[in-house]
Amino acid sequence: MVVMDEEKLVCPRCGSDERYVLGKTDRRKQMYQCKKCGRRYMKPEDYKVYPKMPCQKCGSVNTRKAGRRILSGGATKQRYRCKDCNHSFYIAETDTSEEAEGR
Ligand SMILES: [Zn+2]
Ligand SMILES: [Zn+2]
């Protein structure tokens, strides 16, 4: 039995290892949700199946994912950080009118 991966899996935001097991993503990767902060995440290796996003500032594809934001309307935004110029930016993953609805 290899359970190591799950054992050392922690929330990328708060570092907690208490999590709910959610469904699979569209690419059949297991999603988890942190019990403490509500952050959804996958195993680090599962992020690799997602394509690289070029930097919006310098155009480098030497970027990494730097967290995902889930908006109140259910839309998600993926944050990326460029390793070359250190610029960080968000990409809306669902094309809803993100911040249109206010609270
Ligand atoms: Zn957390
Ligand atoms: Zn850049």
Q: Residue 103 domain-assigned?
A: no
Q: Residue 78 domain-assigned?
A: yes
Distance CA 98, CA 20 (A): 26
Buried b (16+ CB within 10 A) or exposed e, 33-55: ebeeeebbbbeeebeeeeeeeeb
The residue to which tokens 């730097």 are assigned:
66
Each residue of 87-99: pLDDT tens digit?
999 887 765 444 4
The string of DSSP letters for 72-97 reads TTS-EEEEEEETTT--EEEEESS-S-
pLDDT at 103: 52
Range of the domain at 58: 51-97
Judge if 14 and 42 occupy the same domain: yes
Q: Residue 39 domain-assigned?
A: yes
How far does the centroid of ligand 2 lie from the alpha carbon of residue 60, in Å? 5
What is the pTM assigned to this prediction?
0.45
The pair of three-digit structure tokens given for residue 56, joined into one six-digit string: 């919006």
How far does the centroid of ligand 1 lie from the alpha carbon of residue 23, in Å? 18
pLDDT at 57: 86
| Domain count across the chain | 2
pLDDT at 85: 94
Each residue of 11-62: pLDDT tens digit?
888 999 999 999 987 778 899 999 999 988 888 777 666 666 788 888 887 8
Judge if 60 and 24 occupy the same domain: no
How far does the centroid of ligand 1 lie from the alpha carbon of residue 37, in Å? 4
How far does the centroid of ligand 1 lie from the alpha carbon of residue 99, in Å? 23
pLDDT at 88: 93
